[in-house]
Structure 1
């Protein structure tokens, strides 16, 4: 035996020992007590999981975990996709559900498929280890190890539940458990980055699932189809399965209020630290189910020194409020963020000076006008505008104006915010048409002194990942487009029209007198 094999056996035994030690059984319980407790636990699946798997369920479940457990267990014929972010325990919860269904004999034949058979075997290992070493399972359901039918890739318990690991592309034939066809089909970690870069591979893997694996199920008996995986590409097996599913559960590391979806495990401080060490692209793909690629529209994204504010004829603070009080995700698909930005123009160059992109209240939104106004001070006149189409106007009148009046009183600063009622065209088209030429010609300058400031950094991200499908938020750059339009309209108003005297035109027209 090679040293690697010895090490693997040692690690396996240590793993099983840790399970054994974490699942001690109360020795004072009689068989009748155990049976009574078992019936109670089976009627309460979440408590059942906590009791039988304390080593894994060491953090309190989040509400989305509980909903998923009850939803899947409560539907014998079901097709679900769990697109939960990394660190939200989708594979572990999947194991809890499958162990409950098989040990309670609601399901009898499990096929676990992954991108390779080695990965499928790795994912199946915790099932096998718990069936071998979990004292509570043995006490409540009997010894499960069935010698002679017990390998890393395929085993059948003494109670008759079959488990089999398959890699994409392998033949699923022979997956019957006596007369029982697979009644649980699990696809876990099925997509890979490499496969998603090749449309042919995605098509091949999906066809294998649809044409080879899925039809092994029975038509007449209820079957659970369960996918576990993040959305790592716009077209991948997870997204295709999601379109077919009875329920597609998409949960990110943070919710629509910007808070941890599982605070019992993932604190805000730790999430901030993890995200700070990877690129925005990696953050979106791994933790927010939003695969983005660098856009091809704003290629320059120039940072430069802002001229002295005294050199500007005027500045504009422009705000895009969104109608709701929601502190949620960006407009593209997931709610909206608010934005307030200070901009100015000199010699056809638009300078993005300072601003805010945030998930905050309407009071916060109005307050940022005062913050920017104070920051400018007496160095330059400032106009204040707010996006305000016909649908937004009631909100402006009933919500923002009272906030504005309150801030005037508390700050002693008399600011007037003018509604921008110009009708808007398609958001993506408007942004590209009005801002891309300026970026291409180097006439769109972001304040280099603010480059590391989080709001300016996020605005740069919006430019970097902008595409016409708005797969990444574009609230900040939409605000910049509004400021640019107001500035140019204001400059036209302030530029006197040139009147050519009629006398000077006579030489061009012999009939003019």
Structure 2
């Protein structure tokens, strides 16, 4: 950091300190007896502590997982913990500021070390805690003056009651770090990983060793509270290496839980998170908010995505619309998918018979009813000279799903002609991987008119995210494979010419 950047950073910190002082200057309306009772309650209840002293940060109630993590940390003086939390879910506020302050005023924290990805980053994170101890008037009124003029500087300071706080950057030597005879009893490592480091296995390995040796060794003969916090941006990351270490407990929180609800409903609505996902794209959202980093191009690569104008439907020899409705008839966290793919007729000048064209796509987290309405709308939009075969895996053609089709059909006056796919499907990864050469060799094309269509983009994201063992949704590549299988099967059957004659017995037969 240059001298000019340091001056600007100091100015921002001073402005932040004034803001903290101003926002905590209001006198509380409470008697002395009430004040003592409220202090005692805040020291017992972390949520109450945040609302009383950190309301300028905690402008809405804590999430359940914030309070549970605080209670767990408080009840374990010696622990090795990873908080694998998503972006925008107050990781630094609670692990770097709220919980350390709570422990300090409970007399359970004496020497804290905060580690960031750089020295400047770590100093900035510790500076936020320093601002609370020096300028937060709520804290000063209830616990007394914390500022210690003789031992108060950037990157390390000691409060009047002799609690010490240090910051260190990634890889910066922490050896011998202690205050007088007291070694650290609270070490927090905040967002250590970045994309550049995660691309190097050697750097990740080196930094993991630094944490386990130099940093963890600061505890000395007696362990303290060791906490690492971040969202999982790569499988090759220090965070993942620490998670894989025996004796480490992991608290994993994803922005949207398995039931499709926000992990922090007091702050995020599901609509806000879905809107963010639509803007960021499926893969980026999974990485930043769902602790699910996806290796792009593990099977399908971005450069294989090809766009072209589609033909009129009468120029397709076969068109298959394949439906993958997922197992649940409703639910906000399940993707419903459908892929409509056509094979051009032979002899066309504008397209090869070997090509496959993705004409329409459906890829949404919605109810079966919404998907059924879309299917009927697409069917009704087809010209009379287009024949489309509609398939759905036989296992899905159960009462709960067929009821939705029947209700919509009754309302429209006809039933959608869906045929069951009775194929005994092999392993999904093997099936989808087997069709990837069509993309690689330039035979698969996407409808150019639908480049900005949300369903098409979501389907492409799922296709590029597809890889062995991934937790990413794969409903759309699965539906695409189903449609391609049916098209290829129809082509093989149409081109097969039976040969008649007398069958001769094979030589050397048994």
Instruction: Indicate how the Cα distance of structure 1 residues 10 and 473 shifts in structure 2: closer, same or farther if over 3 A, else same.
Output: closer
Structure-1 separation of matches of 2:72 and 2:373:
44
Greater mean alpha carbon deviation, residues 35-44 or residues 485-494: 485-494
Q: Any stretches of 5+ residues in structure 2 without a counterpart?
A: 345-352, 505-510
Structure-2 separation of matches of 1:178 and 1:498:
92
Match of 1:224 in 2: 225
Greater mean alpha carbon deviation, residues 86-95 or residues 71-80: 71-80
Structure-2 separation of matches of 1:250 and 1:283:
16
What is the CA distance between 1:266 and its match in structure 2? 4.8
Give the counterpart of 1:160 among 159, 162, 175.
162
Alpha-carbon displacement from aligned partner over 1:229-262 (angstroms, at most 9, x marks no partner): 1222211111112233754334444444666544
What is the CA distance between 1:74 and its match in structure 2? 3.7
Q: Any stretches of 5+ residues in structure 1 without a counterpart?
A: 330-335, 507-513
Aligned-partner SS, 1:110: strand
Instruction: Indicate how the Cα distance of structure 1 residues 274 and 474 shifts in structure 2: closer, same or farther if over 3 A, else same.
Output: closer
Instruction: Indicate how the Cα distance of structure 1 residues 362 and 12 shifts in structure 2: closer, same or farther if over 3 A, else same.
Output: closer
Structure-1 separation of matches of 2:483 and 2:281:
29
Instruction: Indicate how the Cα distance of structure 1 residues 491 and 8 shifts in structure 2: closer, same or farther if over 3 A, else same.
Output: closer
Match of 2:106 in 1: 104
Alpha-carbon displacement from aligned partner over 1:149-202 (angstroms, at most 9, x marks no partner): 222222222223221111222332333344443221100121222222222221
1:34 aligns with 2:23: no
Structure-2 separation of matches of 1:360 and 1:249:
29
Match of 1:191 in 2: 193
Tell me, yes or no, if the aligned pair for 1:49 and 1:96 is still in contact at 8 Å. yes
Tell me, yes or no, if the aligned pair for 2:232 and 2:291 is still in contact at 8 Å. yes
Aligned-partner SS, 1:478: helix
Match of 1:73 in 2: 74
Structure-2 separation of matches of 1:493 and 1:399:
34
**Could you tell me the TM-score, scaled by structure 2's length?**
0.86
Kindly tell me the number of residue pairs found equivalent between the two proteins.
Answer: 490
Map 1:35-50 onto structure 2 (within 5 A). 35-50=36-51
Instruction: Indicate how the Cα distance of structure 1 residues 240 and 140 shifts in structure 2: closer, same or farther if over 3 A, else same.
Output: same
Structure-2 separation of matches of 1:243 and 1:370:
48
Instruction: Indicate how the Cα distance of structure 1 residues 302 and 150 shifts in structure 2: closer, same or farther if over 3 A, else same.
Output: same
Alpha-carbon displacement from aligned partner over 1:97-142 (angstroms, at most 9, x marks no partner): 1110112112222111122222211110011111111111111111
Match of 1:304 in 2: 308
**Could you tell me the TM-score, scaled by structure 1's length?**
0.86
Match of 1:171 in 2: 173
Match of 1:182 in 2: 184
Structure-1 separation of matches of 2:112 and 2:146:
15
Tell me, yes or no, if the aligned pair for 2:329 and 2:400 is still in contact at 8 Å. no
Tell me, yes or no, if the aligned pair for 2:322 and 2:483 is still in contact at 8 Å. yes
Tell me, yes or no, if the aligned pair for 1:428 and 1:470 is still in contact at 8 Å. no
Instruction: Indicate how the Cα distance of structure 1 residues 464 and 5 shifts in structure 2: closer, same or farther if over 3 A, else same.
Output: closer
Task: Please report the RMSD computed on the Cα atoms of aligned residues, expressed in angstroms.
Answer: 3.0
Structure-1 separation of matches of 2:242 and 2:139:
33
What is the CA distance between 1:269 and its match in structure 2? 7.0
Aligned-partner SS, 1:340: strand
Structure-2 separation of matches of 1:408 and 1:225:
60
Tell me, yes or no, if the aligned pair for 1:340 and 1:368 is still in contact at 8 Å. no
Structure-2 separation of matches of 1:12 and 1:494:
74
